[in-house]
């Protein structure tokens, strides 16, 4: 099926063109881009909504802000950096994607990502599922007790919480203690087998940060600060984020 042509509605001021210039590496020149397609060849979002990184970049370079913002492709991009990794000019296309997301009014951004970000802001747990510090502690202790009582050889399994001075502060995906608590156990067993000195924290325990994907800078910063403070308050040396 032939791809629909992009209609250029006239010359206008463009924030995207300025952004393209900002993300060019030192000495880079967008005019040297041969649209080689390396960025698109490995992109998992290529073809979705009729878009790919090469097309997105050229539209930005042409100042087609309005046309870019009509597409929801920026929200389908995984921001995995494959495009930047293979680009001969090392153009930071993910930064352009982030700029595009920020250009959307917050209330119009995807409901699922927005909702997960807002949930994470409800408690210092930072859980995108809205689970509180008390909820997490209860589930961990409950699952740990069950494993110790029912699984031979794991009677001494540990899943410490708020252990002061532990070497590693470990985050946990917030979906697991809420919907699949048994999925936490394999990680505990690995850490137990290697003799790791680790702990969870009731504050900042959730690993993900949907506010980053939402392109909400203030909320993203808040989530990171809560987690970093939790690590510092417990005196841990390393922060292990499982995401």
**Mean pLDDT, range 127-139, rounded to an integer:** 96
Could you tell me if 61 and 30 are in contact, meaning their C-beta atoms sit under 8 angstroms apart?
yes
Is the predicted pLDDT of residue 3 greater than 80, yes or no? Answer: no
**Mean pLDDT, range 174-180, rounded to an integer:** 94
How does pLDDT run across 73-101, given as a tens digit for each residue?
999 999 899 998 888 887 888 888 998 99
How does pLDDT run across 154-171, given as a tens digit for each residue?
999 999 999 999 999 999
162 vs 11 pLDDT, higher one: 162
> Chain-wide mean pLDDT for the chain?
89
Q: What is the pLDDT of residue 60?
A: 82
DSSP 121-184: TTSTT--TT---HHHHHHHHHHHHHHHHHHSTT-TT----BS-TT-SEEE-B-THHHHH-GGGG
């Amino acid at each position: 099926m032939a791809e629909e042509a992009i209609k250029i509605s006239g010359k206008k001021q463009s924030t995207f063109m300025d952004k393209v210039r900002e993300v060019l590496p030192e000495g880079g020149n967008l005019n040297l881009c041969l649209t080689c397609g390396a960025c698109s060849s490995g992109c998992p979002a290529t073809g979705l909504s009729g878009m790919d990184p090469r097309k997105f970049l050229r539209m930005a370079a042409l100042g087609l802000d309005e046309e870019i913002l009509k597409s929801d492709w920026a929200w389908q991009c995984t921001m995995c950096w494959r495009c930047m990794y293979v680009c001969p000019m090392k153009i930071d296309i993910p930064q352009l994607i982030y700029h595009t997301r920020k250009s959307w009014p917050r209330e119009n951004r995807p409901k699922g990502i927005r909702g997960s970000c807002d949930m994470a802001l409800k408690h210092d747990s930072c859980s995108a599922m809205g689970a509180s510090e008390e909820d997490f502690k209860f589930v961990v202790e409950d699952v740990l007790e069950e494993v110790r009582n029912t699984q031979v050889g794991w009677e001494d399994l540990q899943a410490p919480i708020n252990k002061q001075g532990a070497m590693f502060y470990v985050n946990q995906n917030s979906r697991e203690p809420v919907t699949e608590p048994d999925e936490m156990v394999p990680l505990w067993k690995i850490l137990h087998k290697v003799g790791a000195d680790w702990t969870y924290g009731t504050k900042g325990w959730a690993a993900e940060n949907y506010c980053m994907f939402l392109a909400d800078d203030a909320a993203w910063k808040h989530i990171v600060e809560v987690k970093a403070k939790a690590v510092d308050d417990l005196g841990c040396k390393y922060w292990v984020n499982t995401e």
